[in-house]
Structure 1
Amino acid sequence: MANQRTYMLIHRLKRQGYIRLNSSKDFEYHAFVVYCDADREWVHSIFLKKLEDDGLKLCVHHRDFDVGASITDNIDTYLQKCWKIIVIMSNDFAKSEWCQWEVDFVQERRRQQGKDVFLLIMLKTINSNHMTCPVKTLIKTTSYLTYKNGVGEDLF
């Protein structure tokens, strides 16, 4: 009975335009992938291959962005086409000013849609001397997966 009341309330609020319940079907891509160019080999040969072979459609800048449009315009355009954001963290990511800018940029989406919009993956542990305030805040406030080579690789 409680489930029926909850469904009816959500249905009524949604019909009145108060609640937007997004699903992956509402978007062109399942996720927008943010990563450092130094990690491109792993991202493209392992990560993308595995997830896309499993049927997910991921947006990556090297492949999907519009030629001739500015990077900032492309990021803005393609973030709107993506249901979730996957951030792949590493020391190189933390050292990159461009990646720091992307983290700041996608944080706005987090403020609008909540922390579930992100999936953080710690590809390589970030040394404390590369830890910036935005990255530290992101790690402290969001659960993340840690990638390990070897035995756990298949489970990841």
Structure 2
Amino acid sequence: MRLSEMLTESLWRAASQNMSNLKILHLSHNNITRLRVESFRGLGELKSLYLKDRNVLTVPLNSDDNGEIFLHLKKLKNLSLSDNKLTCLPTNIFRVLSNLRSLNLSYNFLTDLDLYMSHMRNLSMISLQNNLLENINKDVKIFFTDLIYLFILYRWNLRYMYYSAKTRWNRNGYTQIAEADVEVPEFEFDVFVSYAAKDGAFVKESVFAELEEKRNMKMLIHDRDFRAGEFVNDNIMHAIITSRKTLIILSKAFLQSHWCRFEMHMARLGPIKTGRNVLCVLMKDHVPTKGLPLEIIDIIRNRTYPEMPDEIVHCADVFWDRLRDALMH
């Protein structure tokens, strides 16, 4: 009998009573779609539970408002719910898991994160990679901030929270940004240009010349404008937050650069904090999507972006005018 069937029948309940000393349980790749509230009742000594990959626990977990499924797993330290097609999780689903050290929620469809987590003082790793997060509860953000140096996996959403908060510090102390400033922002720069070193000549000879010199846009370019003595991460977040838009010069060289991809991910996550779309992509080279990370494919496929025309000499003004309009609105 498949484990997916055992978990919904009395056979599984009987079996679990005879596994009271079990420490590790792997239930991955079983196409499990249902869990009863008593499924893990006899597994009080369990330390690691893996329900990841090719299970579909959307219905039982989404509806577990009182956290009854994991109620008897108070000694659990490692929990993986990766790739379960989860769209949301009830606030109290992990309410008894105070000993949890690692939590894997990656490769799901979570859009909101509103979890009770303040009791998880032992948590040192959380993975939220490849979700659709748009809203994160204030208390969860504070919890993440307190533990940011303990996370083993620095995922993009957590990085944005950390570095955007860090850029609010200046030499005189903490500077709080008022909510009104988000609605009617005043920017120091019109556009932050993110590009690979190999594309530097193109940026200086074409992008800079056309947009700043000819069309009076105020541009932030890292070769010229990054602040000396600051960490690269801080310079990047300062550039994104103080610029109206971030212009990605997308090329094969760009995708090979760690810092360029960091800049792209930070700009992509901007709407989580600011509510505004800050990312604009200029396709400099044809970039094949095969083998690219899913988040980069999403940017390429689902965004309207200007592409360099084959004969830019004959339509240069029209192209640069349109790009300027896209960056200013």
Cα distance in 2 for residues equivalent to 1:112 and 1:136: 23
5 Å-filtered alignment, 1:74-85, equals 74-85=235-246
User: Of 59, 65, 69, which residue of structure 1 is paired with 2:220?
Assistant: 59
Answering whether residue 231 of structure 2 is matched by residue 88 of structure 1, we say no
Cα distance in 2 for residues equivalent to 1:110 and 1:20: 11
Q: How many correspondences in the alignment?
A: 138
Q: Which amino acid aligns with 1:62?
A: D
Name whichever structure is richer in helix by fraction: 1
Who wins on radius of gyration, i.e. which is larger? 2
Cα distance in 2 for residues equivalent to 1:19 and 1:75: 20
Q: How far apart are 1:113 and its partner, in Å?
A: 4.0
Cα distance in 2 for residues equivalent to 1:128 and 1:20: 34
Q: How far apart are 1:46 and its partner, in Å?
A: 0.6
Q: Which amino acid aligns with 1:44?
A: K
Cα distance in 1 for residues equivalent to 2:194 and 2:184: 21
Gaps of 5+ in 2: 1-178, 320-329
Gaps of 5+ in 1: 1-16
Output one character per residue of 1:9-59: Cα deviation in whole Å (capped at 9) or x when no partner.
Answer: xxxxxxxx6794335xx1110011111111111011111111002110010
CA contact (8 A) 2:247 2:281 kept: yes
Aligned pair in 2 of structure 1 residues 146, 114: CA closer, same or farther (>3 Å)? farther
Output one character per residue of 1:68-105: Cα deviation in whole Å (capped at 9) or x when no partner.
Answer: 11110111122221111111101111222322222222
CA contact (8 A) 1:94 1:132 kept: no
Matching residue of 2:318:
155
Answering whether residue 209 of structure 2 is matched by residue 46 of structure 1, we say no
| Amino-acid identity (%) | 24
5 Å-filtered alignment, 1:51-130, equals 51-53=211-213, 54-113=215-274, 116-129=277-290
5 Å-filtered alignment, 1:135-150, equals 135-150=296-311
Cα distance in 2 for residues equivalent to 1:130 and 1:114: 31
Cα distance in 2 for residues equivalent to 1:104 and 1:120: 12
Q: Which amino acid aligns with 1:89?
A: L
Cα distance in 2 for residues equivalent to 1:154 and 1:18: 37
Answering whether residue 295 of structure 2 is matched by residue 134 of structure 1, we say yes
Q: Which amino acid aligns with 2:318?
A: L
Aligned pair in 2 of structure 1 residues 120, 46: CA closer, same or farther (>3 Å)? same
Aligned pair in 2 of structure 1 residues 149, 132: CA closer, same or farther (>3 Å)? same
Cα distance in 2 for residues equivalent to 1:72 and 1:36: 16
The two structures have a TM-score, normalised by structure 2, of 0.39
Let me know the Cα RMSD of the aligned residues.
Answer: 2.1
Q: How far apart are 1:66 and its partner, in Å?
A: 0.7
Q: How far apart are 1:115 and its partner, in Å?
A: 6.5
Cα distance in 1 for residues equivalent to 2:286 and 2:188: 32
Cα distance in 2 for residues equivalent to 1:55 and 1:108: 28
Cα distance in 1 for residues equivalent to 2:180 and 2:275: 16
Cα distance in 2 for residues equivalent to 1:30 and 1:49: 15
Which has the higher relative contact order, 1 or 2, with Cα contacts under 8 A spaced 6 or more apart?
Answer: 1
Cα distance in 2 for residues equivalent to 1:47 and 1:130: 29
The two structures have a TM-score, normalised by structure 1, of 0.77
